[in-house]
A and B are shown apart, each in its own frame.
Chain A
Amino acid sequence: MEILSILIPVSLGLGAAGLVAFIWALRSRQFEDPKGDAERILSDKWDDRPKPD
């Protein structure tokens, strides 16, 4: 049962990492245009190099 003292923190840590990633995505406005993002991946416009900012 000692393994629990490792597994539980690991599972909570992974969950927390997911939560932090979600909060980051939300803060950087990645949920503003879900439909557009779904379509943009089909465009071959910036396939060879990244779009300059």
Chain B
Amino acid sequence: MARHSGSGWTISQDPGRTDMTDLTASGFSACPACDAAPLAQRLAHRADVAQGTVILSLPTAHCATCITDVETALTAHPGVRAARVNLTLRRVTVDAPGLNADDLIPVLAGVGYEAHELDPDALSATTADRQGRDLLMRIGVSGFAMMNIMILSVAVWSGAESATRDLFHWISGAIALPTVFFAGQPFFRSAWAAIRVGRLGMDVPISLALILASAISVYETMQSGHHAYFDAAAMLCFFLLIGRYLDHRTRAIARSAAAELTALEVPRATLLVDGAEQTVPVASLRPGDLIRIRPGARIPADGEITEGRSEIDRALLTGETLPVLAAPGQMLSAGEVNLTGPLTLRVTAAGRDSSLARLTALVEAAEAARGRYTSLAERASRLYSPSVHLMALCSFAGWIWATGDLRLAVNIAAAVLIVTCPCALGLAVPAVATAASGRLFRRGLLIKDGTALERLAEVDTVVFDKTGTLTLGRPTLVSADPLPTGLRPVARAMALASAHPLSAALAAALADHPAADLTDVTEHPGFGVSAHWRGRMIRLGRADWLGLADDEERPTSAAWLAVEGHAPVRLEFTDELRPGAADCVAMLRKAGLRVVLISGDRQAAVADLAARLGITDFHASVDPQGKEAMVADLAAGGARVLMVGDGLNDTAALARAHASISPASALDAARVASDMVLTGSDLVPVAEAVATARRATRRIQENFAISIAYNIVAVPLAVAGMVTPLIAALAMSLSSITVTLNALRLRD
């Protein structure tokens, strides 16, 4: 076949890593292995939940115009009843019975907005949402109580006497007791849970302070005492609940972001039953099943080709950019992408038995090796709880010993517990985390893990993967110059005849040339396209198909165009750099970080890219275990590694690294293994994230310092019995407000 005529032409097709977003959007892609089962279950009852409602993620929406554009475009589309953008979550909810995401995504693409389908079931108003509203309600109630009690307390502090004071105390108590009972529940519950397992969480001293303050105040009021701490109890609830809510929101957003990303991939396979095609969930595949794989689709299970010829893109598994020929009898692994011709596959292993499962085991081992990270807040709270209890107990014992007055001693112990209010721990850390993750979210970075920011701040080495991370995994024509002008329309017509990524790149590069009229256009899956033009045989395809020798060691990949009567033309393609890749690498180096490139691709291709980005430290042809081992070696050498990668071959390394980031186009398994996910295609936010994380950690430390300073002043006063409810209220609100304002400095 290769020596058909003297004019061999060929496509040595190549780095065609079909863009993952396209795949998922068109519903082809099947998420390999790991998460197939739960996803498939969700899909099963998806139909009833999602009736008529489509939820799309809008990573690029950011302003009033975006809202109007998106809503106008969608409501103008026939069949759409309503569309509502949620800018906070960057989502649009479309009420369109009978339409699905595939109909709506092109509409948004038409007005210039990137959109991805989300699984409504994975995102529906779940427990997280209810908990958030529950916390908000408690914040509202305690805020109301705090303000009203404060009005009455101001009267007492400014000198209300005897009966008036008692009346005000009674009214305060009538507001404060139900409030503490209702609003304090989250603290009481978690304190009780901690005590039962014999630990002292942060909530134990909080609950103790709340209960003690309320009880003493009731007793003092009955005795017509001078001091009541009802305002302190309500204020403590209010500030700490705000901290609790911020914490909850950061976690909920991270969780829903993770669910959102999982929801991006819808695993389906085309099963052949007696020659008829049937769409089934990937999880239901069994060894021995025959499945059909269309060009452009991801292979859902390991198997052997029984029919068809094609080329296979293995970039996500190995990092290679050059496609591999596929012919009957060859074994394929789940996660590879079929490029040119339809294939029939006999499943040999599906789901958890497939080759992907082996990688999962590697990931688990890597995660275990990394160990659990203890956050700053955890370390601080471990110091905080025992010392607060000890101080309260000591002052109680000291005053009993000195005066023998039980009432005074309990009052002082309660004052100690109140002024040591853990505002820095309970409010300042969540406030910083919320500000920092909100800032990163706006820049297109989702944080999945609570300690990720702190770990990111410690990073000193950044390891990049090549294909799909620093590059888009999408070829572009280096130059059209080798192509004689007269042949360009022919080349464009030939390129348009095939869906292969190299053809698409060629067609795009020649977009301003007309397409020539061709006859007998035939695609030869795995080889190229042939046609006749003005009676001459033309071929566009692989070098070996044309009987030509191609130089595998060149950094670029190539297709050949052969026209009878002309010398064959070599068309060079290179993998397009991800936008911002060069800036990102430069920024990281400027910030003093070491940048390393580790790829599974050929030496020549990796060296070329490293040179373009100015990376001197690069390694080529590294297998998945090798990547993990290299990251582990760096860590053993004392480096804190940030791994940025997208492929299955990076998964173990992502899990092993101190912190990890994967682009949204990464495979599900890689995203699950990483701490942060990049939602846009620009790489610059990676460099910014490191800077933001460092600032966030600095803010947290500053906040600890501020609250320690407050305590240094307030605690001795409390122990000495000089703290009145007025001083307690001032100390508590001042420290809460300063730490919150300090945290908000991150937002700009």
Q: Which 10 A-B pairs have the closest CB atoms?
A: A36-B87, A39-B64, A42-B64, A19-B144, A35-B88, A33-B86, A22-B140, A35-B87, A43-B64, A33-B88
CA distance A1 to B152 in the complex (A): 14
Residues of B within 8 A of A22 (CB): 140, 144
Closest-CB distance, A25 to chain B (whole angstroms): 9
Q: Is the Cβ of A39 less than 8 Å from the Cβ of B87? A: yes
Closest-CB distance, A6 to chain B (whole angstroms): 14
Chain A 3-44: CB-based contact to B (< 8 A → 1; otherwise 0): 010001001100110110011001000011111100110110
Contacting residue for A40 out of B67, B144, B147, B148, CB 8 A: B67
Q: 8 extra interchain contacts, Cβ-Cβ under 8 A, other than A11-B151, A43-B68?
A: A11-B148, A12-B175, A22-B144, A33-B86, A35-B88, A39-B64, A43-B67, A45-B68
Residues of B within 8 A of A11 (CB): 148, 151
Residues of A within 8 A of B171 (CB): 8, 12
CA distance A26 to B82 in the complex (A): 23
Residues of B within 8 A of A23 (CB): 137, 140
CA distance A6 to B151 in the complex (A): 15
The residue of chain A having its C-beta at the shortest distance from the C-beta of B66 within the complex is A39
The residue of chain B having its C-beta at the shortest distance from the C-beta of A45 within the complex is B68
The residue of chain B having its C-beta at the shortest distance from the C-beta of A9 within the complex is B171
Contacting residue for B148 out of A12, A31, A39, CB 8 A: A12
The residue of chain A having its C-beta at the shortest distance from the C-beta of B82 within the complex is A53
Q: Is the Cβ of B68 less than 8 Å from the Cβ of A33? A: no
The residue of chain A having its C-beta at the shortest distance from the C-beta of B164 within the complex is A1
The residue of chain A having its C-beta at the shortest distance from the C-beta of B175 within the complex is A12
Known contacts A11-B151, A16-B144; A32 and B86 CB within 8 A of each other: yes
Return 28 A-B CB contacts under 8 Å, by A number.
A1-B164, A8-B152, A11-B151, A12-B175, A16-B144, A18-B144, A19-B140, A19-B141, A19-B144, A22-B144, A26-B133, A26-B140, A33-B87, A33-B89, A35-B87, A35-B88, A36-B85, A36-B87, A39-B67, A39-B87, A40-B64, A40-B67, A42-B64, A43-B64, A43-B65, A43-B67, A43-B68, A45-B72
Chain B 63-89: CB-based contact to A (< 8 A → 1; otherwise 0): 111011000100000000000011111
B interface residue numbers (CB < 8 A to A)? 63-65, 67-68, 72, 85-89, 133, 136-137, 140-141, 144, 147-148, 151-152, 164, 167, 171, 175
Q: Is the Cβ of B144 less than 8 Å from the Cβ of A36? A: no
Residues of B within 8 A of A1 (CB): 164
CA distance A3 to B563 in the complex (A): 103
CA distance A19 to B141 in the complex (A): 7
Which of B65, B133, B144 is packed against the most chain A CB atoms within 10 Å?
B144
Residues of A within 8 A of B167 (CB): 4
Closest-CB distance, B501 to chain A (whole angstroms): 37
CA distance A42 to B137 in the complex (A): 29
CA distance A4 to B529 in the complex (A): 93
Closest-CB distance, A39 to chain B (whole angstroms): 4
The residue of chain B having its C-beta at the shortest distance from the C-beta of A42 within the complex is B64
Closest-CB distance, B668 to chain A (whole angstroms): 28
The residue of chain B having its C-beta at the shortest distance from the C-beta of A22 within the complex is B140
CA distance A45 to B72 in the complex (A): 10
Which of B85, B88, B152 is packed against the most chain A CB atoms within 10 Å?
B88
The residue of chain A having its C-beta at the shortest distance from the C-beta of B139 within the complex is A22
The residue of chain A having its C-beta at the shortest distance from the C-beta of B140 within the complex is A22
Residues of B within 8 A of A36 (CB): 67, 85-88
Closest-CB distance, B132 to chain A (whole angstroms): 9
Residues of A within 8 A of B147 (CB): 15
Residues of B within 8 A of A18 (CB): 144
CA distance A33 to B85 in the complex (A): 9
CA distance A36 to B84 in the complex (A): 10
Which of B64, B65, B152 is packed against the most chain A CB atoms within 10 Å?
B64
CA distance A36 to B167 in the complex (A): 46
CA distance A22 to B147 in the complex (A): 14
Closest-CB distance, A34 to chain B (whole angstroms): 6
Residues of A within 8 A of B63 (CB): 39
Closest-CB distance, A51 to chain B (whole angstroms): 10
Residues of B within 8 A of A31 (CB): 136
CA distance A12 to B487 in the complex (A): 86
Closest-CB distance, A5 to chain B (whole angstroms): 10
CA distance A26 to B148 in the complex (A): 21
Residues of B within 8 A of A33 (CB): 86-89
The residue of chain A having its C-beta at the shortest distance from the C-beta of B438 within the complex is A35
Residues of A within 8 A of B88 (CB): 32-36
CA distance A43 to B63 in the complex (A): 10
CA distance A19 to B183 in the complex (A): 14
Closest-CB distance, A8 to chain B (whole angstroms): 7
CA distance A33 to B67 in the complex (A): 12
The residue of chain A having its C-beta at the shortest distance from the C-beta of B141 within the complex is A19
Which of A12, A32, A39, A40 is packed against the most chain B CB atoms within 10 Å?
A39
Q: Is the Cβ of B137 less than 8 Å from the Cβ of A26? A: yes
The residue of chain B having its C-beta at the shortest distance from the C-beta of A29 within the complex is B133
CA distance A31 to B147 in the complex (A): 22
Closest-CB distance, B323 to chain A (whole angstroms): 43
